Structure 1
Amino acid sequence: MARRGEREPMPGVYPVTYGEVELLRDLDRPGGWILTSDGVPQSYVDLDDPEYLDFEYVRLMADVIDLMEDGPLDVVHVGGGACTLPRYVAATRPGSRQIVVEPDAGLVQLVRDQLGLRSVPRLKVRIADGRAAGALLRDDSADLFVLDAFTGAVMPVELATVEYLEDVARVVRGGGTVLVNLADGKGLAFARRFMATITEAFPHVALLADPGVLRGRRFGNIIVAASRVSLPLDGLIRRAAGGPARARCMHGRALTDFIAGASPIHDGDAVTPPVPPPAVFGR
């Protein structure tokens, strides 16, 4: 994979379709760049090394991908940002075919121009929101479906409903995997309802997160892996416990207890997604 685009990225604040984003250089890594929106870090990419993953939750997502069957993958990503995971998949799974669905055309153009997106092989970008993505995707066309869509630090509720996840299940092949990044804090009410929701569509589900987040002690990311077939739980438990993030893998009875009667989210339900406290991002 090429190291960079045609020109050196330029740090600064850039207008995009939905507001502004800021591109920051990582002074500790020559190829490292951080994309933020409203002061919230959205993506980190290393243009010299696409296998380097700076954010802990992205590393957890990569652990799930690494444990999938060897070989190239057909992947759908809902939510683009700087395309950290598509770059990782292209580097670690040569020959993979990937589609990124991203509603912000200005952001896509910025990432193409500044962060070398054109150098990622076999990657297509579709300008659409997550709910509209279904019309673009064929039945049984994806080995991996990644849902990592946020408005600032908030996951759109319309991407967390039974109806949406049933459409995701239509796209994912029988042995495929769904990966979801969500965020929650004290009480974990949204996370519990989301887990109740995704278990309506997929019988095998596991949750990966920092123990402090799972205890509701702090706001943070929660990674969900789901499939119609058994997940590689032994590998997930080992990687979660032994990785730099020291995360916990919750599944089976513990996950049932975590859901504890929470109701699934349906289209039209009045749900307020969790918003991080200002101190989380130094605001």
Structure 2
Amino acid sequence: MAKSTNPVPGRYLVVFGEVELLRDLDNPAGWMLLMDGVPQSYVDLADPTHLDFEYVQLMGIAVDCLPEGPLDVTHVGGGGFTLPRYVAATRPGSRQIVIEPDHALVQLVRDQLALKTVPRLKVRTTGGREGVTALDDASADLVILDAFSGAIMPIELATAEYMGDLARVLRPGGTLLVNVADGKGLRFARRLLATVRGVFRHVTLLAEPGVLRGRRFGNLIVVASNRDLPLDRLVRSAAGGLTQARCVAGEDLVKFVAGAKPIHDGDPVAAPVPPPAVFG
């Protein structure tokens, strides 16, 4: 395993705000990256397969349910590059592109969190829309959309037009994973699901039951493809994982989304803001 480059805890100015790097007192190799006080990433420099956040565990489960072997992966959103590290460790030989607009954040992760040790990884410091537009058709087996400004998902990355561009980048049978955060009523999550369902034939949702019922603000993971998803395995893995999540698909998903309208470029939609107590 790659050794730590002796990260220095503290506050660092980046392009889009201030990040804080905190050591995990229970794990000498564990580091938390926060943006303006909001937890963004957890990185274990000794074990890239260690996924600390619940929603990242769910994304890891979805990755594990894909066919075996190396993957060509496009990530929209970098943070501490937790999932690229996970893919590189669990799918040796994978080629990955990370689109992250904050070049100062990328440099911080390179300097402090051993990013250079991740094999076959390319970073493009540009916006999520521009970065995907520049990608070739049918160039990825997996696209992971996990982009937030603080705790808020940029609306321009939640529209039908953008989902169409992500579908263009995916190979036939490729998979899209989207991290969306929402709270009571899940109105935004329902609209995002309606948007994804307008582009992809097969869609499912993974979430912890309390979040799924709108009892607390949290993250939900959308899994989509134009080919059948491994639903049986997703259901078993989600229920048996540390997070013990539910998998919503088929008619249950249709009922969940009922009445929600897809999001289009220019629509007056605001992504939900978490209550202050969530990160207090």
Superposition TM-score tier, normalisation by shorter sequence:
over 0.9
**Residue 108 (str. 1) matches residue 115 (str. 2):** no
Q: In the alignment, which of 254, 257, 260 is matched to residue 259 of structure 1?
A: 257
Deviations 1:141-161 (A, max 9, x none): 000000000001000010000
Deviations 1:173-214 (A, max 9, x none): 011100000100001100010000000110100000011111
Question: 1-side partners of 2:28 and 2:72: how far apart?
Answer: 31
Aligned partner of 1:80 in structure 2 is: 78
User: Any idea what SS the aligned residue of 2:215 has?
Assistant: coil
Deviation at residue 136 of structure 1 after TM alignment: 2.3
Question: 2-side partners of 1:8 and 1:120: how far apart?
Answer: 17
Within a 5 Å distance, the mapping from 1:200-239 to structure 2 comes to: 200-239=198-237
Aligned partner of 2:3 in structure 1 is: 3
Task: Mark the runs of 5 or more structure 2 residues left unpaired by the alignment.
Answer: none
Question: 2-side partners of 1:19 and 1:242: how far apart?
Answer: 38
Question: 1-side partners of 2:273 and 2:38: how far apart?
Answer: 12
Q: Is the 8 A contact 2:88 2:118 kept in 1?
A: yes
Aligned partner of 1:184 in structure 2 is: 182
Within a 5 Å distance, the mapping from 1:62-211 to structure 2 comes to: 62-211=60-209
Q: Which amino acid aligns with 1:233?
A: L
Question: 2-side partners of 1:192 and 1:18: how far apart?
Answer: 28
Q: Which amino acid aligns with 1:93?
A: R
Deviation at residue 272 of structure 1 after TM alignment: 1.1
Q: Is the 8 A contact 2:133 2:165 kept in 1?
A: no
Q: Which amino acid aligns with 1:169?
A: A
Q: Which amino acid aligns with 2:54?
A: E
Aligned residues: 280
Question: 2-side partners of 1:190 and 1:73: how far apart?
Answer: 30
Q: Which amino acid aligns with 1:18?
A: F
Aligned partner of 2:37 in structure 1 is: 39
Deviation at residue 134 of structure 1 after TM alignment: 2.3
Aligned partner of 2:18 in structure 1 is: 20
Deviation at residue 3 of structure 1 after TM alignment: 2.5
Question: 2-side partners of 1:134 and 1:124: how far apart?
Answer: 14
Task: Mark the runs of 5 or more structure 1 residues left unpaired by the alignment.
Answer: none
Stretches of 4+ moved more than 6 A in 1? none
Deviation at residue 19 of structure 1 after TM alignment: 1.3
Question: 1-side partners of 2:7 and 2:31: how far apart?
Answer: 9
User: Any idea what SS the aligned residue of 2:153 has?
Assistant: coil
Deviation at residue 261 of structure 1 after TM alignment: 1.4
